[in-house]
Structure 1
């Protein structure tokens, strides 16, 4: 597949604004805050409490109005200008609690928001990177850090209580996953966005967007819990798995063409799901077990 265009983060908020020309970039104005998209698209529900509290594009001081989150080393996380960093990005977070946050930048904005939504998992990923830094010099991350970076950037958490749905994911049986078993979404399977690049892409989505997902088997009662309880449980589960070195390779994270999730794209008709360029069949090689 040819490389997809970068997300157009200045595009007007909506289900699909990729065809609209972005407005003129006025550097003294913050990006428009797409409140309608944030409240209407199910992918952003997990960030809702913090999006509501911010109410507009934050500057560095606005982040301090939110409840603090902490690194595993005990530092309260502080958003800072990247020019002020004195260490490598992950080391600055672990050793000083300072996270580089570019002004008026959606990518960094969503990164900070995910720290609030899933603090244990973000802290565990930071520990993993910091621990492996001395072993992966010369710009080479290695497979473990590659997997961690992929999940951090474009990851989705996929809790499920029916093994047949996990099998459809592994087999790239997209018609079963998204059409035949459509009613299972929200009651037997769901997707929670973790990757901050995925949140950014959903500002101006286009057919072709694919994430790397972490499937997690759950009890059926999980789907009766309120969203904050589900998120807290997933956060603890993921952090424990990362601490146990269960994430070893990018190939453990199966792809998910997430615009196929019910309600995540405005036109989900037969022609949409028949697009084999987006809903691709599985390649003929062994798929590693998920983390």
Structure 2
């Protein structure tokens, strides 16, 4: 897809978190266009974040953000959605950058950074006020999560895309798309608040958890076949949900 699909962004519920940012453009923005929006936040050294030409970097991506506040931004969909997430979830993105900095001192890449990268690329923030629904997600009880409790979505549970790779895949979605979830317990009243307020609350919560080193390994992020979320795929009938190659049961461990 090379054109700017404004209608698609407006119609698909997966784009809800970043839609207000995307609506400010009429075509695929380059780094100068992102920079013109202003800084989404400051890094942990207090430097305002800025979007820059990737060819101007003197350090690798995460180090440049931490040391200089400079986010390399290519003129493509992947980096477009990454920039949009920086504007939408700035506290969590800054916290992830600080995590990478903390865990690169020894030069080794371990499970903490692997988990951070998974969440950054394909993460979903799942706010849930019903423990039964959270248990269904963790236990891969997809029939309960998506069909039996179809009406609970938006009232007791919701999924917000955080990972910029998810947004890129949603340009041309296909069965098999699966995200990694960060479950956040909330009260029922959470879902009656405006989306911008819900995002700000979840952004602050995720940043706090990352700063507290609660993200330790990829297995903390359960998978979610997110095209099963009501409204995220055109035809969600019994045959769709019966596809066990997509809605996979949980593996039994010895």
TM-score using structure 2 length = 0.97
Q: Which residue of 1 aligns with 2:51?
A: 79
Partner Cα distance (2:138, 2:116) in 1: 20
Alignment of 1:151-230 (within 5 A): 151-230=119-198
Match of 1:275 among 199, 220, 243: 243
* Deviation string, structure 1 residues 165-192 (Cα, Å, up to 9, x no partner): 0010111000000000000000000000
2:127 partner SS: strand
Q: Which residue of 1 aligns with 2:118?
A: 150
Partner Cα distance (1:134, 1:237) in 2: 26
Q: Which residue of 2 aligns with 1:113?
A: 84
Aligned CA-pair RMSD: 1.1
Gaps of 5+ in 2: none
By how many angstroms is 1:68 displaced? 1.6
By how many angstroms is 1:74 displaced? 1.5
* Deviation string, structure 1 residues 66-101 (Cα, Å, up to 9, x no partner): 242222222222222222110121010011111111
Superposition misfits of 4+ residues, deviation over 3 angstroms: none
Partner Cα distance (2:24, 2:49) in 1: 18
Instruction: Check whether the contact 1:50–1:66 (CA below 8 A) recurs between aligned residues.
Output: no
Q: Aligned pairs, how many?
A: 253
By how many angstroms is 1:52 displaced? 1.2
Gaps of 5+ in 1: 1-9, 11-30, 287-291
TM-score using structure 1 length = 0.85
